[in-house]
Structure 1
Amino acid sequence: MQHRLREHLEKIVPLTDAEFAFVCTHFVSKRYKKHQFLIQENAPVQYVYFVVSGLLKLVYTDDAGKPHLLSFAMEDWWESDFQAYYTQTAAVFSLECLEDTEVLCLSLASYRALCAGLPKMERFFLEKSILGSIAAQQRLLLLLTTTAKQRYEQLLKQQPALVQRVSKTLLASYLGVSRETLSRLAP
């Protein structure tokens, strides 16, 4: 598990063996089964998760009980209810396994200790945050300005593996279209 984390981190910051050993002391390894929740709405959020293997979905359920699929997280992705994590408030989202999943978990206290003890990790997390913000803005713009067909084509281009791993019902929810509409778009 740790080799995957090291490869991921070193795409942004080089690490010595001693530095990486220090990084590893701040993570907890966990395994979850398909359909298990890592985060449940209204519960405290203990961790930000680095996905080693598996697939997760982040969902917001509105007041009418309708679920809204915000994102998927697969290998080499970070996921959490970030606002609840950083502010130590109750979760607004739920995070559920779509496959058996292995994650490395980073508590807020460990995150702060890691950044204080190894400043280059602050740079890593800043870069990841910026890239995450850019991706969120691009996704929002796609939802606001493109057709269902254009959104589906963009998904195929950017994340072809995801289309093979997720049901058409979940893909439709993620794209903001009905299952029937997606069936017409996807052969």
Structure 2
Amino acid sequence: MSKLLREHFEKITALTDQEFDYILSHFTTKKLKKHQFLVQAGDQVKYDYFVVKGLLKASFTNNDGKEHILQFAMEDWWVSDFQAYFNQTEAILDIDCIEAVEVLCLSLTNREKLCSEMHKIEHFFRRKSNFGYIALQSRILSLLNSSAKERYEELLQRSPILFQRVPKTLIASYLGVSRETLSRLSS
């Protein structure tokens, strides 16, 4: 478990054993079963979650009851309701387990403490945030400018493993198309 987290940090910044042990001491572990919620709309969001094992989806349900999937998160990814996490407000997203999940939990207090004490960690999270902004912008632009077929092909190229691990109804929701449209796109 800690090996994956260390490898993740070291994609951006090298750490000594002592530094990593100190960083790891600020995380807690949580395990959930398939179909359990990590976060539900209305919850206080105390943690940012690093996925060690399993697959989750972050979604928003509108006033008409329609679910919109914002993100899938699998091993080596971070997930949270970031608006609620950083503002310490109630969640507007649901994050639930598509598979059994094991996550490492980092509270905002511990994140801020690590960032203030270790330039390397502040640098790491700044870079991760930058990557996240880029990915979010790309996703929004894709939804605005790309056809359903183009969005499907882009997702298939970027994350082919999702098509093996995620039910087609959820992939369709993520792409903003019906299940029937997804079937036509994939044939």
TM-score normalised to structure 1 length = 0.98
Amino acid at match of 1:58: A
For residue 178 of structure 2, what is the aligned residue in structure 1?
178
Per-residue CA distance 1:72-118 (angstroms, 9 max, x = gap) = 00010001000100110000101000000110000011111111221
For 1:117 and 1:101, the matched residues in 2 are separated by 30
Q: Which residue of 2 aligns with 1:10?
A: 10
Please report the RMSD computed on the Cα atoms of aligned residues, expressed in angstroms: 0.7
- SS of aligned partner of 2:52: strand
Aligned length: 187
Letter of the aligned partner of 2:36 in structure 1? Q
Q: Name the residue aligned to 1:98.
A: 98
| Matched AA of 1:39 | V
CA distance in structure 2 between the partners assigned to 1:176 and 1:38 by the alignment: 23
Residue in 2 aligned with 1:22? 22
- SS of the residue corresponding to residue 160 of structure 1 reads coil
1:63-82 map, 5 Å = 63-82=63-82
Q: Where does structure 2 lack aligned partners over 5 or more consecutive residues?
A: none
- What is the rounded CA distance, in whole Å, between the counterparts of 1:115 and 1:77 in structure 2? 19
Deviations 1:41-73 (A, max 9, x none): 011001000001100000101111111111100
Match for residue 135 of structure 2?
Answer: 135
Query: Equivalences for 1:13-52 in 2 at 5 Å?
Result: 13-52=13-52
In structure 2, the residue matched to 1:54 is 54
Mapping of residues 144-183 of structure 1, within 5 Å: 144-183=144-183
User: Partner amino acid for 1:85?
Assistant: Y
Query: Residue 12 of structure 1: CA displacement?
Result: 0.1
Question: Which amino acid letter does the alignment assign opposite residue 102 of structure 1?
Answer: E
Q: Which residue identity is paired with 1:151? A: R
Q: Which amino acid in 2 is paired with 1:44?
A: Q
Amino acid at match of 1:53: K
CA distance in 2, matches of 1:22, 1:113: 11
Unaligned runs of 5+ in 1: none
Q: Which residue identity does 1:92 align to in structure 2?
A: I
* Identity of matched residues, %: 58
Structure 2 length-normalised TM: 0.98
Q: Which amino acid aligns with 1:174?
A: Y
